[in-house]
Amino acid sequence: MDVPLREAPYRFTGGIEVNANKDESTADRIRHTPIPGQIILPLRQHSGNAATPLVSIGEQVLKGQLLAAAHGSVSANIHAPTSGMIVAISDYPVPHPSNLSDTCIRLIPDGMDMWIERPVTERDYKNLDNQTIIEIIRKHGIVGLGGAVFPTEIKLKNSQDNRISANQKNLPDLHTVVINGAECEPYISCDDKLMQEYADDLLEGIGIVLQITGAERCMFAIENNKPEALRFVKQALREYNDARIELYSLPSLYPQGGEKQLIQSLTGKEISPNGLPLDLGYLMLNVGTIKAIRDAVIDDMPLISRVVTVTGDGIKFPQNVMAMLGTPVSELIEFCGGYKDKQQLHQLIMGGSLMGISLHSDAVPVVKAMNCVLVSTRKNTQPKQALACIRCGECAQVCPAGLLPQQLYWYSQAKNYHEAQRFNLADCIECGACDYVCPSHIPLVQYFRHAKSEIRQRDEQIRLAEQAKMRFEKREQRLEKIATQRAERLAAKKARTQKLASKDSSAIDEIMQRVKQRKSSNTDRNNSGDAN
């Protein structure tokens, strides 16, 4: 079957052309890292609640065994990446901008890499009903690997609910699945390598998602700076022969990989600031997530490893590696030849240079969200002195969310959060495009992140104060009710006492009356006796 390669017909609002810096890490195939010396698995690796541990210290576990169960409506299971012994469940440094520690399960591998029992043959998903497939995805702890880390089972369930309730809500049916292979952020190339080396698997994963959602169409989108990925996917599609899957090439533009931006590029449709692709009948999944879905459903494989790009001018041999979750970043760096010069090391970043977060140490483990470890030197990341805003308006021109970053900067700097909110600060996706073009080198995103966190804190304080006020009012009402009940009880008691007292006094009167009568009858008798 001939597979046409379509050009994306539209262009999203704003955006910038950046130096991709991906060549360094794409020269070799993905290499598997060895079993690490220790594995540290944070219980919170996904959106929502932390998972609840199911194992205890000293327990021997097998590869693929469930170690911690999803807790609450938004959460995901965590499995053992290899066999070994649980030695601790306590706080360890985790890859998070707060630099705080979090509860983790620490496992010392035994080197045997022994699996728990799994089906010997590949599962034929076409014979499974949708609920069973979604349950397999839930059981295997699959989350979005494109950055959001949202449990995939919920996304798929929502898409099914959308189908059921579309008519009632006046929404279109889910008609199209979009596969995000854009990978627009500089330095990161893990999705590129995945598409090159696992194109057949990705098409199987798409087949599963099309079956679950009932969507009639799939748009597979890849930026045109990944010609090898486009070539391999096209070749695989030729053999897979499914006319529902269309391949799209996009011009390389940052932040094309954002959900709303990609849908705008492919369809020309804009999703409202608080809206979701589902509102327009689209479901978007990243290529890494699609591969994880395929491995869970067909090979019964939980999410226990992922591809990580280890790159930057501070690492000896930049490359993509398949690493077990929980592997300390220091071991990944060792595997890639180590630091070029630790004295020159400036920053360790999880993610790309624009949206990544700074890591405080290489002791933190690989987590489900870790697509890239960027090692940069002083030479490359010397911060530039911020100057005054010259009101050039460059930032507004590149903002993909259609915001006015200059205004947001003024209000954030002045702590005028009310105005910042009025100028839609919440719609900022923190892409850093405005930062990138600002001739005054103003760290705009830092201001926006800070303002957002202040607003969150303020809102939380307001929420807590309202809760306290409600508790106080309820207590007052309770006390008032108790006082009224007590007063009513006292009044009733008093009434009873009075009633009794009046009953008593009439009884006394009666007695007195009888005594009086008896006395007078005795007197009469005596008098009559005297007379006799």
Question: In the 3-class helix/strand/coil scheme, how is 273-324 assigned residue by residue?
Answer: CCCCHHHHCEEEEEHHHHHHHHHHHHHCCCCCEEEEEEECCCECCCEEEEEE
Q: Interface residues with ligand SF4 (CB under 6 A)? A: 389-395, 398-401, 403, 405-406, 409, 428-434, 438-440, 442, 444-445, 448
Residue 464 carries which side chain, given as an amino acid letter? L
Alpha-carbon distances, residue 190 vs 25, 259, 294, 303, 306 (angstroms): 9, 18, 17, 16, 9
How many CB atoms within 10 Å of residue 479? 10
Instruction: Please identify, using beta-carbon distances, which residue of 39 and 445 lies nearer to ligand SF4.
Output: 445
Token digits for 378? Answer: 């002083």
Q: How far, in Å, CA of 500 to CA of 490, rounded?
A: 15
**Closest CB to ligand SF4 among residues 300, 394:** 394
Q: In angstroms, give the least distance from the CB of 176 to ligand SF4.
A: 25
Q: Which residue has 């002045």 as its token pair?
A: 414
Written as six digits, the tokens of 163 are 């189908």
| Residue among 303, 328, 308, 443 nearest 387 (CA) | 443
Q: Which is nearer to ligand SF4, 83 or 261 (CB)?
A: 261
Residue 425 per-residue DSSP state: G
Q: Which of 177/428 has CB closer to ligand SF4?
A: 428
Rounded least distance, CB 310 to ligand SF4, Å: 26
Least Å from the CB of residue 406 to ligand SF4 = 4
Comparison of 53 and 258: residue with beta carbon closer to ligand SF4: 258
> Shortest gap between Cβ of 290 and ligand SF4 (angstroms)?
26
Closer residue to ligand SF4 (CB): 172 or 443? 443
Distance in Å, CB of 451 to ligand SF4, minimum: 11
Q: Does residue 277 have a cis peptide bond before it, meaning omega lies within 30 degrees of 0?
A: no
Q: How far is the CB of 461 from ligand SF4 (least distance, A)?
A: 25
Distance CA 110, CA 466 (A): 52
Cβ-based nearer residue to ligand SF4, 337 or 439: 439
72 or 273: whose CB is closer to ligand SF4? Answer: 273
Yes or no: say if 254 and 184 are a contact pair by the CB < 8 Å rule: yes
Nearest distance, CB of residue 138 and ligand SF4, angstroms: 33
> For the sheet containing 39-42, what is the strand order?
39-42, 101-109, 84-93, 60-61
Helices (H) and strands (E) in the chain, counts: 14, 18
